[in-house]
Structure 1
Amino acid sequence: MIYIGIDLGTSAVKLLAMDENGTILKTVSKEYPLFFPHPGWSEQNPEDWFTQSIEGMKELTEGIDRSKVAGIGFGGQMHGLVTLDENDKVIRPAILWNDGRSQKETEYLNNEIGKEKLSAYTANIAFAGFTAPKILWMKKNEPEKFAKIAKIMLPKDYLAYRLSGSFCTDVSDASGMLLLDVKNRCWSEEMLEICDVREEQLPKLYESWEVVGTLKSEVAKELGFSADVKVVAGAGDNAAAAVGTGTVGDGQCNISLGTSGTIFISSKNFGVDENNALHSFCHADGSYHLMGCMLSAASCNKWWAEEILHTRDFAAEQAPIEKLGENHVFFLPYLMGERSPHNNPDARGVFFGMSMDTTRADMTQAVLEGVAFGLRDSLEVARKLGIKIERTKICGGGAKSPLWKKIIANVMNLKVDVLEVEEGPSMGGAMLAAVGCGAYPDVETIGKKMAHVVDTVEPEEELVAKYEECYQRFRKLYPTLTPLF
């Protein structure tokens, strides 16, 4: 049988078809526009997601026996606010995860409702990207539109609704709304009251692999699929990517070096750190995860190389770097502010420690090391919770650099496992569909079967000791500079 994974990203929808053994048959990507109607705003038209997903599935299954398509699953951009009226018409463009308009509402939630209450209700505190502050913004600034809301949903759930008619979400994606009682995997009555939302306006909650329905007959006919094709709930993009990399079960770790950077730690047990420096969310495997999210990771290296050095030959810039753990230059990777663990939108990037003998290579090295140190800040929070991590998977564009993987392994003192195939959330979505269709008994089983490790970068004792000294210097810079930000 064939399983389709749909990764609803910010710039494009990426679709993947795989068989029950995990063999990838084909991938397709379809772009759609992003709108910035005011500075700091970021919106999309949900109709674009649907039309491009339909066109993408047609292209994806060209030359494939469409009668063998058994299930469709999702990974999707998190936190976005999609609102429908009683006639299922989209009320306003979707407000996306990277939209910053709700700063006042975020401050209201954190300061007037209070971080302690938010954490007790949802296991998290408010960020401008989360959904609840967006709802409050809409209530205050667009009261007529707010009054029309019949359904509130997340981006990927709009696709599931259009494909199957099921008004649904999964607990991993819902964890990023600031409306979910994460520990108990149910909507928080207190948060609904704070946001003036009724439970019937919110989707039914599912686990990520659960079947929410089958394709509508008209959709099945247009695609040439059977009307029995199952639609599963899917997961938020980071949880779906973690399924795709086999980061399932207790104590597994995945580091993503994408535009932003994440450290994702799966856990059988629910846990929250006292400062809410990490997100505490439900995982797509039925358990929980902690996640530290840096706003700038591989994008730091891209900025340094392309904007400052005016080159796109990243490998050539890294070639002269030899002496690891001995760099006297430090880089704070806060080019867009920072989320984990500092939650400071005013933080900024800083080079520190240059002298007359500082070279171009030293500064390139500092950028790579600064991102690694920033990720370690989140790892240290997890370690304080008693979570023991010895190894991690790695994915994302930055993970293509052998040097960066070596730096990560030694800064964090972790074995870094490199995967044969790294297709991100689309692969995870297809794997969740396979579980929902009964091809595998659970998410942990398929995750461990399909994530093939082809190389491991081992930390070196001498280098770990050198980087420990460097990290202790690095971690003093942010608190020292905070008053200046």
Structure 2
Amino acid sequence: MYFIGVDLGTSACKFLLMDERGEILNITSRSYDVEFPRPGWSQQDPADWWRAVREGVPELLSGFDAAQVAGIGCGGQMHGLVALDEKDEVIRPAILWNDGRTVEQVRYLNETVGTSRLLELTGNIAYAGFTAPKVLWMRDEEPELFSRVAHVMLPKDYLNHRLTGVYATDVSDASGTLLFDVARRTWSEEMLALCGLTASQMPEVHESYEAIGTLLPEVAAELGLPAGVVVAAGAGDNAAAAVGTGAVGAGTMNISLGTSGTVFIPTTDFAAGVGDRIHSFCHADGAWHLMGCILSAASCNAWWVNDVLGADDMAAEQANIDVRSADPSLPYFLPYLMGERTPHNDVSARGALVGMSMSTTRSDLTRAVLEGVAFAVRDSVEIARSLGVDVSSSTVCGGGARSAVWLRMLADILGIELVLPATEQGPGYGGAMLAAVAAGAYDSVASCAGSIVSERERVTPNPDLASAYDRRYQVWRGMYPALRGSFAEVAGGE
């Protein structure tokens, strides 16, 4: 049997074909644009996602026996608001996870409704990226469009709807809406009412590994697939990546260095009362997880190398970085190019280079960018440690994990061993694995991960650098509080 994994990302939709032993047979992708109509706004046309599927899947299957495909599973960008009318037409461009237009709505939720009440209802507090503030923004700013909303969906669930005709979501993606009771794994009626929604407008909730239906006949014909192909509920991209890297069950952990960065820690039980410091969500394996999120990770490196330096060879820019030292005189970088989630929850936060001198080199600044992202990842790791979580090792995935320099720096800054999976296609691989479970090839996510996920290599931290990086981290931590007022002024003038 074959299984298709879909990774619905911010800049591209990636597809992989996997057999039941976990071997990747083929990979392809389709890119699309992101709209930035105003500073801090980020949106996308869902039609571009569907166009990517219609083009990408037939290409993926070229040269393979499509009759052997048994399931499709999608891992997708989280938190996005896709609003459909009663005819299933998209009402407005999808508002994405990294959109910051909901400052007033977040303030209303956290201050008027109150963080304590939000924690009781959902297990988390409001962040600008979450779906509920977007719903409130649409209600407040686009009331005519809001009155037409018949269905509220998340990005990957829109694709699943186009595939099956079913309105469904999974527990991991629903957890990031702030409309979901994470502890009880169901929609919060009070939060829906507060946002002007009803349960009938929300998709039916499934576990990530459950089948939500099969392909519509006309869709199967267009994609060149059998009509009986099972579609799994799928997962949010971070939960899907965790599955794809084997971060399933307590005692595991995954760090993703993609466009954004995440620290993903599976837990056996729901962690109550911590959602004001770190996200507490449902996992795709049927349990829960803690997650810290930084909005700009590998995107910081791309911005620095491509946009600022005007270069295109990232490895060449890192070639002169000496990872054997942590010189205290080197400059620092705050990676808040799109605002920040964990731990600051501040859409006004901005990037900053601090501590430059006449002796600062191009290589020093490249190093500062990589180090600043690693320090931001450490912020989330330190929160987990403060909650009593034993953080001693982690798998790593995402585009940033291809940099040996960055991985060495990250291992030393966190003081933990990093494990590189044999397969780098985290969300797409996880989506295919969820499809394999939904189609009956495996009886659980844990058994699937245990059977097919393997490691390629390990990066061990250098204990001699621990104290030097600790000192630099403490200096770095003091920079955001010092600049917070200036960031607010800068953001206010944009």
- The separation in 1 between residues aligned to 2:146 and 2:358, in whole angstroms, is 59
Deviation per residue, 1:252-275 (Å, 9 max, x gap): 111122222111111112115647
Q: How does 1:59-78 map to 2 (within 5 A)?
A: 59-78=59-78
Say if 1:278 and 1:456 are closer, same or farther in 2 by CA, change over 3 A. same
2:342 aligned with 1:340: yes
How big is the shift at 1:210? 0.1
Counterpart in the other structure of 1:97: 97
User: Contact conserved, 1:152 with 1:202, CA < 8 A, in 2?
Assistant: yes
Counterpart in the other structure of 1:162: 162
Say if 1:338 and 1:42 are closer, same or farther in 2 by CA, change over 3 A. closer
2:383 aligned with 1:381: yes
Counterpart in the other structure of 2:171: 171
User: Contact conserved, 1:321 with 1:365, CA < 8 A, in 2?
Assistant: yes
Q: Which amino acid aligns with 1:484?
A: S
- The separation in 1 between residues aligned to 2:224 and 2:299, in whole angstroms, is 40
Counterpart in the other structure of 2:193: 193
Residues paired across the two proteins, number: 485
- The separation in 2 between residues aligned to 1:337 and 1:67, in whole angstroms, is 46
Deviation per residue, 1:372-413 (Å, 9 max, x gap): 111111100011111101101111222222121111111101
Counterpart in the other structure of 2:260: 260
Aligned-pair RMSD on alpha carbons?
1.9
User: Contact conserved, 1:420 with 1:451, CA < 8 A, in 2?
Assistant: yes
Q: How does 1:56-455 map to 2 (within 5 A)?
A: 56-272=56-272, 274=274, 276-322=276-322, 323-329=324-330, 330-455=332-457
* SS of residue in 2 equivalent to 1:79: coil
User: Contact conserved, 2:130 with 2:177, CA < 8 A, in 1?
Assistant: yes
How big is the shift at 1:39? 4.3
How big is the shift at 1:278? 1.6
- List gaps (5 residues or longer) in structure 1: none
Say if 1:355 and 1:275 are closer, same or farther in 2 by CA, change over 3 A. farther
User: Contact conserved, 2:14 with 2:30, CA < 8 A, in 1?
Assistant: yes
Say if 1:468 and 1:152 are closer, same or farther in 2 by CA, change over 3 A. same
- The separation in 1 between residues aligned to 2:224 and 2:311, in whole angstroms, is 46
User: Contact conserved, 2:280 with 2:289, CA < 8 A, in 1?
Assistant: yes
- The separation in 2 between residues aligned to 1:482 and 1:38, in whole angstroms, is 22
Q: Which amino acid aligns with 2:429?
A: M
Counterpart in the other structure of 2:492: none
Q: Which amino acid aligns with 2:224?
A: G
* SS of residue in 1 equivalent to 2:391: coil
* SS of residue in 2 equivalent to 1:177: coil
Say if 1:47 and 1:306 are closer, same or farther in 2 by CA, change over 3 A. closer
Larger deviation: 178-187 or 105-114? 105-114
- List gaps (5 residues or longer) in structure 2: 488-494
Deviation per residue, 1:187-233 (Å, 9 max, x gap): 11210111111111111100000011111122223333222211110
- The separation in 1 between residues aligned to 2:443 and 2:48, in whole angstroms, is 35
Q: TM-score, normalization: structure 2? A: 0.93
Q: Which amino acid aligns with 2:460?
A: E
- The separation in 2 between residues aligned to 1:364 and 1:52, in whole angstroms, is 34
- The separation in 2 between residues aligned to 1:90 and 1:472, in whole angstroms, is 47
Q: Which amino acid aligns with 2:326?
A: G
Counterpart in the other structure of 1:32: 32
User: Contact conserved, 1:7 with 1:14, CA < 8 A, in 2?
Assistant: yes
* SS of residue in 1 equivalent to 2:176: helix
* SS of residue in 2 equivalent to 1:361: helix
- The separation in 1 between residues aligned to 2:339 and 2:165, in whole angstroms, is 39
User: Contact conserved, 1:327 with 1:366, CA < 8 A, in 2?
Assistant: no
User: Contact conserved, 1:273 with 1:385, CA < 8 A, in 2?
Assistant: no
* SS of residue in 2 equivalent to 1:169: strand
User: Contact conserved, 2:151 with 2:203, CA < 8 A, in 1?
Assistant: yes
- The separation in 2 between residues aligned to 1:466 and 1:43, in whole angstroms, is 41
How big is the shift at 1:484? 3.2
How big is the shift at 1:333? 1.9
Say if 1:318 and 1:42 are closer, same or farther in 2 by CA, change over 3 A. closer
Larger deviation: 283-292 or 212-221? 212-221
How big is the shift at 1:139? 1.6
How big is the shift at 1:365? 2.3
How big is the shift at 1:472? 2.3
Of all paired residues, the percent bearing the same amino acid is 55
* SS of residue in 1 equivalent to 2:474: helix
Counterpart in the other structure of 1:468: 470
Q: Which amino acid aligns with 2:262?
A: T
- The separation in 1 between residues aligned to 2:141 and 2:482, in whole angstroms, is 38
Q: TM-score, normalization: structure 1? A: 0.95
Larger deviation: 346-355 or 192-201? 346-355
How big is the shift at 1:303? 2.9
- The separation in 1 between residues aligned to 2:106 and 2:478, in whole angstroms, is 28
- The separation in 2 between residues aligned to 1:177 and 1:419, in whole angstroms, is 30
Say if 1:150 and 1:483 are closer, same or farther in 2 by CA, change over 3 A. closer
Counterpart in the other structure of 2:459: 457
2:9 aligned with 1:9: yes
How big is the shift at 1:247? 1.1
Deviation per residue, 1:137-174 (Å, 9 max, x gap): 22222223222222111111112112112211001011
Deviation per residue, 1:83-140 (Å, 9 max, x gap): 2222323233322223333222122111211122112211111122211111112222
